[in-house]
Structure 1
């Protein structure tokens, strides 16, 4: 049987799609781009724009695959299955839990066998899915956690994903060992809110505990952390993990606003002062580390003065990169019901200013590496040059011959290039 996959949204969705592809292959099915018997759409619902993208995807895929079984799983399928039904394009709705069952549901539908059940749900425990490794890739995602208990004012995801559920440490260790055997050189630990990892386990386990066990057990594997709530960064986290050279020096610390009054309206559980202290801790224990973040501009009632405070805070933290998003109304959230919604033009103008400030910060951060020699792991070719993300998270483009994929090389950084740095093979060992 031939399966095709279509993914929208975040890295967690990407991980889950890769896992479903692996499960399908283990059952003897072929993964194709065209001519599929079944198409599985992994949906996103983080914004209203995402919802429209899902609907457009259903229409497009049905037009391209008129006789295929189409299944929808993921956050949009969990939040609004009725809207999906009304499209009359989707045969199976699976949601965000028990996703492994969607392969069997598609098999039954293609073979015209009675389904075990069209919609599947259940809050249950952490759903184990095997980490898939895309062909030829050196990096893999490993989902260690699902769900979120924060319920920020603008976010629908806790309702789509449910409460925090964590992979047990032993399972994470087994997956990491398997990925190492399969030739993976870097694992990105991902989840919906990985700072909450382990709080649901008995006895509780912290993300710091799991991370240090993984680092110690797999010295030949580099580990990179996904997006972090600032609260996870404390002295214990830094002191315990800083001694491991196989931890990538790249930390994505979620911010959303650099103004305390806006943070309070958002329902974020920290102040700018507390956040800044976390950034300083990281820079103390991990010199030259890359600290990146997300920013929402144009939140309801955000004044020009509040926005100016945010711009000043970006400069104070000296981020290496800032991902800027204009506020988008997400139905069924508290923020959607707030008064003081800003005009689209105001949000766009502030986003443009924030992106300009962010670009200057990135250029300043990358400039510190010019003239230095970095050890990198070539991943793939881009425009005739090898490329690696390096431990700091930004692309490094490599000039020179004799480069072998997955073999570490010393690269002398010559300057800024595209979205990262340009370097040449160094004589240094």
Structure 2
């Protein structure tokens, strides 16, 4: 059977799609590009906002229109949280976010029997971590390694706890075994990822936390670089930084989830920290690492956000000096507490997003300019604009003259920047 995947949303969806593709190949099926003719089309959906739901529906409708005779399957967060919407989508297989291997069994069954199959569990009943193949696809330089699933933070704007269920951690020995396998396959960088990796180990009750996991993986994979996915600020303590800084292969890029730089807004968001604790995390990272790239997410125009609150947030992000920011105008997610709050107008959200983007762009330029003169081990990936492109440990993109550098790590002296990327010269 020829199977094509379309993936929307977060890195977890990307990871799980790659895992399902690997499992299908092991079963003797052929994975083809989504633009090719296939026997079955799988849409792995996102439901983080109502717009995400709309995108998922649009893709499903397009596949049914363009490939009326093909098997159409939907999985992911959208059917998990909106099973009632599925009847109108004319799909052959409906599943959610759990049991990806079981989903492939159902895909084969649906192909044989050509009947509607629905299989969506109760996400809150999940208690075990599903181990899936790790990897990054063909010709990739870095691989994602999923170590955790689920979240119990229940931020007021977020549907993910309902879609993914409670925290489930991969056992330490399983993570180490998968990391060793990735290193043996030739990957030069492993990204430790999950829905909320700061909670890793909480459910295992083994007395270990994320830093213990990181040390164990580092010891197992030698000189393979390690990069952390998004962290909760509370994870970053003095002990965490001291131990993390002692891991020479850990990339000094830390994505600290923020969402707002105003305490009143954070409280409405039901975040579990305030700006003082967040700033403490930023200062600890800057104290223990040489020019770390601290990056973050920020929601603009959250319900009830006043001009004063937004100005407070702008002042706060300047104080943090982020290397890079991802900005999102608030989008209503039906079914969450924030959807019932007083909304900010689209015009105000757009204007605030523009102002925040200007501040973020200035901080990004400042960070890049501070990289000039530094020497970084760059992991090269692919040709770009007449040069070879790769990423420094701080995840800033670097362009340098060279050929056949795919998956090579070379020392590069940074000679300049255009405010978007770094330019450099290979020194070896």
Check whether the contact 1:378–1:403 (CA below 8 A) recurs between aligned residues.
Answer: no
RMSD, aligned α-carbons: 1.4
Other-structure match for 1:39: 41
Q: CA deviation at 1:75?
A: 0.7
Say yes or no: does 1:372 pair with 2:377. Answer: no
- Give me the whole-angstrom Cα distance separating, in 1, the residues matched to 2:77 and 2:114: 27
CA distance in 2, matches of 1:351, 1:374: 33
Query: Is the 1:226–1:252 Cα contact (8 Å) retained in structure 2?
Result: yes
Secondary structure of 2:304's match?
A: coil
Q: 1:360 aligns with which of 359, 362, 380?
A: 362
Inter-partner Cα distance in structure 2 for 1:84 and 1:132: 31
Match of 1:51 in 2: 53
* Matched-pair contact (CA < 8 Å) for 1:44–1:75: yes
* Structure 1: runs of 5 or more not aligned: none
Q: How far is the alpha carbon of 1:114 from its aligned partner?
A: 7.6
- SS of residue paired to 2:127: coil
1:27 aligns to 2:27 (yes or no) = yes
5 Å-filtered alignment, 1:1-400, equals 1-33=1-33, 34-88=36-90, 90-112=91-113, 118-122=118-122, 123-339=126-342, 341-399=343-401
Q: TM-score, normalised by structure 2?
A: 0.96
CA distance in 2, matches of 1:262, 1:41: 35
Residues 136-185 of structure 1, C-alpha deviation per residue, up to 9 Å, x if partnerless?
00111111111101000100110010010110011100110111111111
CA distance in 2, matches of 1:385, 1:62: 41
CA contact (8 A) 1:73 1:99 kept: no
SS in 2 for 1:118: strand
- CA, structure 1 residues 207+133, in 2 after alignment: closer, same or farther (shift >3 Å)? same
Question: Do residues 424 (structure 1) and 425 (structure 2) align?
Answer: yes
Give the distance between the partners of 1:227 and 1:314, measured in 2 at CA: 17
Per the alignment, residue 404 of structure 1 pairs with 405
Q: Is the 8 A contact 2:381 2:405 kept in 1?
A: no
DSSP-derived class of the 1:406 partner: coil
Mapped partners of 1:68, 1:239: distance in 2:
55
> Contact 1:371–1:414 at 8 Å: present in 2 too?
yes
Distance in 2 (CA, whole Å) between partners of 1:394 and 1:208 is 24
Q: 1:204 to 1:45 in 2, by over 3 A?
A: farther
The 2-side partners of 1:120 and 1:347 are apart by 36
Say which is worse superposed, 144-153 or 385-394, in terms of deviation: 385-394
Conserved 8 A contact 2:143-2:187: yes
Task: Name the SS for the 2:291 alignment partner.
Answer: coil
- What residue in structure 1 maps to residue 416 of structure 2? 415
Contact 1:98 1:120 in 2 (8 A): no
Give the Cα separation in 2 of the matches to 1:94 and 1:421. Answer: 43
**1:409 Cα deviation (Å)?**
1.5
Contact 1:289 1:392 in 2 (8 A): yes
The CA distance in 2 between the partners of 1:224 and 1:413, in whole Å, is 21
Q: Secondary structure of the equivalent of 1:368?
A: helix
List per-residue Cα deviations over 1:330-362 (Å, max 9, x = no partner).
Answer: 1000000112x1110000100010001000000
Q: Distance in 2 between matches of 1:403 and 1:73?
A: 38
1:378 partner SS: strand
Q: Is the 8 A contact 1:185 1:222 kept in 2?
A: yes
Q: How far apart in 2 are the matches of 1:153 and 1:275? A: 19
Q: Which runs of 5+ in 2 are unaligned?
A: none
Q: Is the 8 A contact 2:231 2:254 kept in 1?
A: yes
TM-score scaled by length of structure 1:
0.96
Per-residue deviation, 1:113: 7.0
Aligned pair count? 423
Residues 165 and 200, structure 1, Cα contact 8 Å, conserved in 2: yes
Q: Secondary structure at the match of 1:28?
A: coil
Cα deviation per residue 1:97-131 (whole Å; 9 max; x = unaligned)? 0111122211122122788x631425231111111
1:77, distance to aligned residue in structure 2 (A): 1.3
CA–CA separation in structure 2 for the residues paired with 1:397 and 1:137: 18
